[in-house]
Amino acid sequence: MRAIGLLCVLIVAKICILAGRDIPLSFWTPIAYLWQDFLVVALFAALDFLLRKPKFAWALYAIIVLYSAVNVPVARVLSTPLTWPLLRATGVALSDSITYYVTWGNALLMLLIVAASIGFPFLFRNVRPRTVVITCAVLIIFAMLGPLAIGRIDTLGLHRNAIAAIAWTAFPNAPARSGSGDWRASLLSDAPVDDLSHYRGAAAGRNVILVSLESTAAQYLRPYGAKDDPMPNLTKLAEQAILFEDAYAVYPESIKGLFSVLCSTYPAIHTAPADYERVAIPSLAAVLAAAGYRTGLFHSGRFGYLGMESIIRNRSFQTLEDAGQISGNHNSSFGVDEPSTVKRILSWLDNLPRDQRFFIAYLPIAGHHPYQTPEQGPFPENDEMRCYLNALHYGDEALGVLVRGLQQRGLYENTLFVIYGDHGEAFGQHEGNFGHTLFVYDENVRVPYLIIAPGIVQKQVRVRRVASLIDTAPTILDLLGLPSPVRYQGRSLLESQPRMALFFTDYSLGLLGLRDREWKFIHELDSGRSKLFNVREDPGERQDLSQQFPDRATVYRQHLLRWCGYQRDLLHSEAPP
C-alpha cells in the first residue's frame, strides 16, 4: 500500500515538473524520466518489508513526500531538484530570491503532492502483497534500463529523483588525473592574430581599478550587438577600449570565478570554497602590494555568501569592505545599493596620500536576481528580462559616478581599468536554462571584457581572439610592466597566440566546456553526452555537430576530462606545483 502510494505520488510530482516543457517522445521517454523514482520506490518497499515497522515506514514515507513536494517548484524554476551544491548556496543572502518564488501557484503544487500522498494510500489500501512484489520487480527492471534510456533521451537532469540528486551530488565522481600539459593551447593550427604586444608596459606606474560586473552577459550589451543599451556609461567607455568579443568566465558563479581572476588559477570540479584558502598562489593584490600599491576590495554584497572569505582573506587586500562595513541607503538580503559602495570607494581614495598608487577591486551586485532596484529604470518591467536590464542600468549609473569621481580628482587619466562580467545570465534561451549557475551555454559564460587605458587606447580595438577571465591578472601585470608569478595558469592577453577558453559547472549536472576559435564543445559527465557547435555560424548553439565531426568531439572530450582530473588533483594537493 505505502509503496504503491509513493510510486503514484512521485509520478504526479514528475508530471508537475515536466508540464509545459518540450519533452522528446519515444519508447524510452517514461523510463528515462522515471527510472530513479522507480528505484527509490523499490528501495522503500524493500525497507518496509524487511523492517516491518509501520510507524517508521509512515514517517519515512512522509519525509520523502514532503521533500519531493518542496522540489517540485524548485525543479520547475531551476530544471533540477535540489543538489548538495545548491543547498550549500542557499542562505540568508539569497532570501530575497527565494521569497520571489513563494507564490500561490507554487504553494498549490506542493499541496497537490501532499494531498496525493494522503489519497493514494487510501485508494490502494486493499492491494495484495503479491501485487506489491510484482510491481517492485517491474520497477527494478525499468530502473536497470534507466542509464541506457538517458543515453537516448536528453533529460537535462530532470530524470533525477529529489532524494537521489542529493545523495549523488554529496558524493560526486570526478575524472581521474591524467598527465599535465598546456591545457589552453588551441587544438587548431592557427597563425597568431590580434597582436597587442605594443601595449606591454604601456601602463607602467598607473593605478588599477578592476570592476567585476555581476551577472552580466555580453549578449545583452550594445557594444556586443544588443539592440538595447542598458549600460550607456560602459558603452561610452568601450569607445576607447580594447574590447574582447569572445571572453569567457571559467565558472558561472561569482565566488570561484573571483578566485580565477585574482589568482589566475582554475577552480576545480566538486570543490568547496574552503578548499581555496590553502592554495598558496600569489594573488594580483599580493603582487601589486609588493610593488608599492595600496590595495582594497569593495563589495556591495556580503563576504559571508558562499564562503567568499576563503577566496579573499589573506590575499593581501589591505582594505576589505562589504555591505556590513559600507552600509547604505537601500539594503536587501544580498547587499547594499551601488551608490553607497562607490561613495565609500571615493572616500577611501580621498584618504590616500596624493602620490600613492592604488589597486581597487570593485564588486557590485546590481544584476543579481531578483533584479530589484531602488530607482525606476528606463525599461518597462513587464518581464524578468526587462527587470534585469534595469538592474544593469542601475549598476551602470554607479559606474558612471565612479568614473566621474576619478576625473574630478585628477585620477582618471593615470588609471588602468579592466571591466568584465563575472558570469552571464540566462532567460530560457535553451530549454530550462534560467539564472547562471546550471549550464555553460554562451548566455551563462560569455561575458563582456574591456581594458580602458586613457591616453594609451584612444579608439576602440576589437579583438576576436578567444579570451578567458583567468588571463586577467597576467594581462594587468603585463600592461604595468611587471612579471607574473610562475604558478599562474592564465596568460597575458597581449600575447597573440590563440588559446582556448575552458569552463565548467557542477551545481546540478557536471558540465565541462571549451571554446576553441569557432568551436564550442560541452560534455556532460554523468550521461557522457557531448555537444559540438560552430558558434560563428550558429551563435545560438542550436545545431549539435558532434555526430558530423566525431573525431573533433572525441579529441575535445578527452582533453576536457584530462584537464578536469588534473585540476581537481592540483587544488587538493598541499603544495600545487
Whole-number Cα distances in Å, 449 to 199, 419, 445, 461, 466 = 17, 6, 12, 12, 11
- pLDDT score for 198: 94
The per-residue pLDDT for range 295-328, each reduced to its tens digit, is 999 999 988 887 788 889 889 999 999 988 998 7
Round to whole Å and give the CA distance between 98 and 75. Answer: 13
Whole-number Cα distances in Å, 431 to 165, 434, 516 = 20, 9, 24
Q: Which residue has the higher pLDDT, 25 or 128?
A: 25
- pLDDT score for 575: 42
Sorting pLDDT into bands at 50, 70 and 90, what band is 576? very low
- Mean pLDDT is lowest, of 35-49, 172-186, 297-311, for 172-186
The per-residue pLDDT for range 98-142, each reduced to its tens digit, is 677 778 888 899 999 999 888 887 776 677 777 777 777 888 888
- pLDDT score for 577: 42
> Average of pLDDT values for 183-205?
86
Mean pLDDT computed over every residue of the chain = 90
Q: Is the model's pLDDT at 406 over the cut of 50?
A: yes
> Average of pLDDT values for 350-358?
94
Cell 536576481 belongs to: 369
Round to whole Å and give the CA distance between 120 and 273. Answer: 43
419 by DSSP, 3-state: which? strand
- pLDDT score for 50: 80
Residue 76, Cβ density class (10 Å: 0-12 exposed, 13-18 middle, ≥19 buried): buried
Q: What is this structure's pTM?
A: 0.93
> Average of pLDDT values for 261-265?
96
Domains in the chain with CATH codes: 2-170 (no CATH), 197-572 (3.40.720.10)
Q: Is the model's pLDDT at 329 over the cut of 90?
A: no
Q: Which long-range contacts (CB under 8 A, 24 or more apart) does 269-273 make?
A: 269/172, 269/174, 269/504, 269/506, 269/510, 269/512, 269/564, 269/567, 269/568, 270/172, 270/174, 270/506, 270/510, 270/568, 271/568, 271/571, 271/572, 272/88, 272/307, 273/306, 273/307, 273/308, 273/310, 273/311
- pLDDT score for 328: 75
- pLDDT score for 297: 97
- Mean pLDDT is lowest, of 12-16, 293-297, 307-311, 410-414, for 307-311
